[in-house]
């Protein structure tokens, strides 16, 4: 969505915005859910994380990765623009963090177990069982959500390299399905939520929007 498109959406009546949000959510959760069983049985890659390329992709959804990236941005830019370097560094660090926290809350609400609990069949955890623990819950994928939130903010800061960041995020999501750690709908839902969080925060920060890198 373009900047002007986002502003038009923000000015729309609440009912319109809620309807659009619901349709998008269903498109990225309910639609891909039709592929969950197929993905479990046909996209499995035995010991995928034994490969360096898969581990590289997975750490795109590991929050400390973006702490390091944020630190690099701050160290590289602080001499020329100390305040701007701090703002950009904070965006790279804290937007993925916020995405990860929200993911854990959504997991607790949906309560769908990981695919390997019952060979790819959906299993939902009762509210009475580990009520406030998201361990072992699948929907949405936290790695994917963090990766897409980070990719989105990096794409805004470094637009010429945006496809690099998004391809890494897609790769992260793919490995989660290949490892049978998540369903297809877990990663598609995590992707749209991560993107929406980062894009929404960015659009609320006019000062940040003016700082798109010229590189």
**Do residues 76 and 144 lie in contact, with contact meaning Cβ atoms separated by under 8 Å?**
no
pLDDT at position 214? 38
Among 16-20, 40-44, 54-58, 63-67, whose mean pLDDT is lowest? Answer: 16-20
pLDDT at 29: 83
- What tens digit of pLDDT does each residue of 21-34 get? 778 777 888 889 99
Q: Specify the pLDDT at position 212.
A: 47
Q: What pLDDT, in 10s, does the model give residues 92-111?
A: 999 999 999 999 999 999 99
Higher-scoring residue by pLDDT: 201, 206: 201
Query: Which residue segments constitute the domains of the chain, with CATH numbers given?
Result: 3-209 (1.10.606.20)
Q: How many C-beta atoms surround the C-beta of residue 65 within 10 A?
A: 16
Given pLDDT bands bounded at 50, 70 and 90, which one contains residue 126? very high
CB atoms within 10 A of CB 15: 8
Q: Which residues pair with 112 in a beta bridge?
A: 124
Tokens of 203: 């659009």
What pLDDT digit, counting tens, does each position of 36-55 carry? Answer: 999 999 999 999 999 999 99
The yes-or-no verdict on residue 215 having pLDDT over 50 is no
């Amino acid at each position: 969505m373009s900047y002007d498109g986002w502003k038009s959406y923000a000015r729309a009546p609440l009912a319109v915005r809620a309807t659009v949000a619901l349709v998008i959510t269903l498109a990225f959760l309910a639609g891909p859910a039709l592929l969950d069983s197929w993905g479990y049985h046909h996209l499995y890659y035995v010991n995928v994380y034994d490969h360096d390329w898969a581990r590289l992709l997975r750490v795109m959804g590991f929050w400390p990765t973006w702490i390091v990236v944020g630190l690099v941005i701050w160290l590289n830019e602080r001499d020329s623009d100390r305040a701007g370097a701090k703002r950009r560094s904070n965006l790279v660090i804290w937007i993925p963090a916020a995405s990860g926290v929200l993911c854990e809350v959504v997991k607790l609400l949906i309560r769908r177990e990981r695919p390997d609990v019952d060979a790819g069949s959906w299993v939902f955890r009762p509210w009475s069982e580990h009520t406030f623990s998201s361990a072992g819950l699948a929907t949405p994928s936290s790695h994917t959500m963090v990766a897409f939130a980070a990719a989105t903010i990096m794409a805004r800061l470094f637009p010429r390299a945006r496809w690099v960041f998004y391809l890494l995020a897609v790769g992260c999501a793919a490995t989660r399905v290949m490892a049978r750690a998540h369903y297809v709908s877990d990663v598609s839902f995590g992707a749209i939520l991560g993107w929406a969080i980062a894009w929404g925060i960015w659009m609320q920060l006019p000062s940040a929007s003016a700082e798109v890198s010229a590189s």
